[in-house]
Structure 1
Amino acid sequence: MCLALTLAGTSALSAKENRCGWIQNPTPGNYWLDDGEGSWILMTQGSEIEPLGMENMPDFTTGDFVQTNGYYGYACGCIEAETERSSDFGDSFLGRISAIYAVKQLPISQCRADKALPSPE
């Protein structure tokens, strides 16, 4: 019985994974990632929940970035992260990114060419 409980607890642990796609920041305090699997929340305006390592997010406006709302918009990139799957965020999101270890901004053309990704707009 103890072994079963130990294994059950272990399966809930997150592992680092690399997720690539559209990094969306349409308005202040709202960030999510749309990858080939679905959408992952990073932050929502007014929520105190934020992933560990949010300071690792670069200033996307200095690279290949599409402005859609003043200084806000989207970029293409990869996030080395831990995720937590949850239906708590509604049908639109698979879960949330709980920790960010590294972020690499990619050319917009790379995400546009990826047929597994949804349209960012």
Structure 2
Amino acid sequence: MRATPFILSFALTIAATATVFAKENRCGWIQNPTPGNYWLDDGEGSWMLMAQGSEQEPLGMENMPDFTTGDFVQTNGYYGYACGCIQAETERSADYGDSFVGRITAIYSVKQLPISQCRGDKALPKPE
């Protein structure tokens, strides 16, 4: 009978861990304004992927497509923004600057969408 609290505690720990690492789909403006800087702006806020000079980059960054081959707005030479969805793991934190809700820690897939889809979404801020 004494094992019951341990089993319950273990089960709750496993459940909490599964929630932390759950995949989620985030859609909005995928921004790459300058080399080494990537973030996603969705209806909840900004999610950092990479910052120039930082050694942190999400697992699966190689899954990011070449957005310039699709519906893409150039704002700085080769750089700019696109509309899309990223299936990812995230980490909420205030440690990434005042304008960021958190960080994307792993990228599983990315789907580029027409710019008009993000422009028509009133929950999204205007891209920079």
Calculate the TM-score normalised by the size of structure 2: 0.88
Aligned ranges 1:57-76 → 2 under 5 Å: 57-76=64-83
Q: Which residue is equivalent to 1:120?
A: 127
Q: Is 1:42 aligned with 2:52?
A: no
Calculate the TM-score normalised by the size of structure 1: 0.93
Q: Is 1:82 aligned with 2:89?
A: yes
Q: Is 1:109 aligned with 2:116?
A: yes
- Normalized per residue, the structure richer in helix is 2
- Give, in whole Å, the separation in 2 of the partners of 1:9 and 1:120: 39
Q: Which residue is equivalent to 1:7?
A: 12
CA distance 1:7–1:55, shift in 2 (3 Å)? same
**Deviation of 1:11 (Å):** 2.7
Q: Counterpart of 2:35 in structure 1: which amino acid?
A: P
Q: Which moved more, 1:12-21 or 1:70-79?
A: 12-21
Structure 2 regions of 5+ residues with no counterpart? Answer: none
- Give, in whole Å, the separation in 2 of the partners of 1:27 and 1:9: 40
Identity %: 81
Aligned length: 121
- Give, in whole Å, the separation in 1 of the partners of 2:9 and 2:42: 33
RMSD: 1.5
**Deviation of 1:8 (Å):** 5.1
Q: Which structure: larger Rg?
A: 2
User: In the TM superposition, what whole-angstrom CA distance separates every residue of 1:57-77 from its partner, at most 9, and x where no partner exists?
Assistant: 000000000000010000000
- Given the alignment, which residue of 23, 38, 60 partners 2:30? 23
Q: Which residue is equivalent to 1:94?
A: 101
